[in-house]
Structure 1
Amino acid sequence: MGLFDGLLGNNTKTDTANVTRELQSILISNETVDLAFTLIRDLVVFTNKRLIIVDKQGVTGKKSQYHSIPYRSISHFSIETSGHFDLDAELDIWISSAVEPTITLPFRKDDSILAIQQALATAVLH
């Protein structure tokens, strides 16, 4: 079911040690990976300093775009938990004073979205 969920656009939690190794050339000193999620080949990474979205491109996925968002740039965010018939949860993030969400990420379970809400609240509200 995990692969099927990934093909449907749902994120799944990923081992932070593997993500840290993969992003070692991107992370700055004293930056640690707190949470990470995969979306087929792409990554959504929450560090202690920023949000990193890795968009792996092309057929082989060797080309990657790294989108980095410092937590201080996030003006607000919202989560939508799953329901009885709608099994997906969703995270919307607004950057600076944007009217529409800059980033919308789908998640498979409420437990992931609730953990992300806590991590974002901790990072943004400090």
Structure 2
Amino acid sequence: MGIINALFGIASQIHPAELEAEFSPILIDGEQINGAFKVVRDVVVFTQYRLILTDKQGMTGKKVEYHSIPYKSITQFSVETAGHFDLDSELRIWVSGYPSVIKKEFKKGTDIIGIQKLLASHLLR
């Protein structure tokens, strides 16, 4: 099922410690990774200050775009849980000044309600 998820771009949860070396140069002092999910080569990272979307480009993936979204720029979000026939969950995020909705899919078993709670805790304070 892992290869099928990768082919269809469905994210799987990864341990934040696996990303420390890669993300330490871009995190500010005291910023920590609270959660992370991988879609093929790309990663979605949640810290206490922002959401970081990575886009590894090219054949080798050495060229990386880091899209940093401060939580205060997120105007709304929605989550859709997995069902019996639709096996993936979805997260949609609307960002102020960004023309389209950012949509990420997560494989069944991902704590999408926990992701919703994490986002809500940052946005509703």
Same fold (TM over 0.5): yes
The equivalent residue for 2:121 is: 122
Deviation string 1:52-95 (CA, Å, 9 cap, x unpaired) is 00100000000000000000000110001111111111000011
Matched, 1:24 2:24: yes
The equivalent residue for 1:50 is: 50
Q: How does 1:81-100 map to 2 (within 5 A)?
A: 81-96=81-96, 100=100
The equivalent residue for 1:75 is: 75
The runs of 5 or more residues in structure 1 that have no matched partner are none
Q: CA deviation at 1:14?
A: 0.6
Q: 1:111 to 1:40 in 2, by over 3 A?
A: closer
Q: CA deviation at 1:99?
A: 7.5
Deviation string 1:20-49 (CA, Å, 9 cap, x unpaired) is 221011100010000000000000000011
The whole-number CA distance in structure 1 between the counterparts of 2:82 and 2:6 is: 17
The runs of 5 or more residues in structure 2 that have no matched partner are none
State the aligned residue count. 125
Q: 1:100 to 1:42 in 2, by over 3 A?
A: closer
Checking the alignment, whether the CA contact within 8 Å between 1:81 and 1:110 is kept in structure 2 is: no
The whole-number CA distance in structure 1 between the counterparts of 2:76 and 2:96 is: 8
2:122 counterpart letter in structure 1: A
Q: CA deviation at 1:4?
A: 2.5
Checking the alignment, whether the CA contact within 8 Å between 2:32 and 2:48 is kept in structure 1 is: yes
Q: 1:4 to 1:117 in 2, by over 3 A?
A: same
The equivalent residue for 1:9 is: 9
The equivalent residue for 1:35 is: 35
More strand by share: 2
Matched, 1:107 2:106: yes
Normalising by structure 2, what TM-score?
0.93
Checking the alignment, whether the CA contact within 8 Å between 1:75 and 1:97 is kept in structure 2 is: no
Q: 1:99 to 1:63 in 2, by over 3 A?
A: closer
CA RMSD of aligned residues (A): 1.5
Normalising by structure 1, what TM-score?
0.92
